[in-house]
Each structure stands twice: as structure tokens, then as C-alpha cells.
Amino acid sequence: MNHYEILYLFPAKYTEEELKPQIEKVLALLYKYGAKLTFNELMGRRKLAYPIKNFYTGYYYVCEFDLEPTNLQKLENELRMTPEILRHQILAKETVGSGVAAELKIETPLPIRTEAPAPRKIETPPAPTVMNIDELDKKLEEILEEKIS
């Protein structure tokens, strides 16, 4: 058996109470194909990055399960045909021990900073000089004469 993670998205037209039977329907599909559930979580209602079937928000739900690879394509086809699900994605995950999802392990620990970073100097730009109109006209004439000659 391989370990998989599925993330599926329900439209926000359901309330949380109406969503429970939909979640049970998907879990029933998983059990139908012999999946052994190791983790499941409703991640809540979130805004979608782009509209899907004219929905701008949806409920995200994630599950981790063990399943025979031969049943994966059958499960995927049936999920694709389920109208209550806007999108789904199944990822293969590595297992550690008895079906628990692999956690990232850092072999060399990152250095821990013991002292506070040195304060940075903030340079303030010089204050603009105030010119009267005569000085401004004189400066403008000088610039124009340089460009002409």
C-alpha cells in the first residue's frame, strides 16, 4: 500500500452543516476502494485564487490515506465525476513507520543567532534648498545654454 494525500475543494454554496454529508460522501468513496484513513482535516472557507465555476470562495478539505496503487485511478475517475467537488488533487507521500506522513528532517541544524543584529544607520536625504523665482530662471537658462552649445 502507498501513502497518499488528497486535497479537495467544495463550493461555498454549502453551510458547514450541509458540508458534512458531502465530506462523508467523499470518505465513503475512499473506503469503497479500500483506503485506510490516517489523517483528515477541514481547513475552512478560503478565497480562491481565481473563480472556478463562478465560485470565488470554497471549503478546503485534506485527507491522508493508504491505498493500493491499482485502485488509485479508479478513485480519481470517480472523484472527477462527483459534481459536489470543484477541484481535487492527489499526491503520493513517503511513509515513516506505520503509515504516518513523512516529516521534513533537517540533518544539520541551522545556526542560531545569539546576539542581536547591529542597528542599521538610516541616512536622511538632505533637505531640498528653497530657490526664489529669479534663481530658478537663471539655473534653467544655464541648463538650456549647455544643451544648445
Q: Where are the domains of the chain?
A: 2-101
Q: Tell me if residue 149 falls in helix, strand or coil.
A: coil
Average pLDDT over residues 25-43: 91
Query: What does the block give as the cell for 140?
Result: 534653467
Helix (H, G, I), strand (E, B) or coil at 100: strand
| Spatial separation of the C-alpha atoms in residues 116 and 28, rounded to whole Å | 54
pLDDT tens track for 49-100: 999 999 999 999 999 999 999 999 999 999 999 999 999 999 998 765 444 4
Instruction: List the end-to-end C-alpha distance of the chain, in Å, as a whole number.
Output: 84
Top pLDDT among 101 and 85 is at 85
- Alpha-carbon distance 48 to 56, whole Å? 5
What is the DSSP-derived secondary structure letter of residue 42? Answer: E
Task: Tell me the C-alpha to C-alpha distance, in Å, between residue 147 and each of 15, 97, 141.
Answer: 71, 78, 10
For the domain spanning 2-101, the CATH number is 3.30.70.60
Q: For residue 42, what are the β-bridge partners?
A: 61
Question: In this predicted structure, what is the pLDDT of residue 110?
Answer: 54
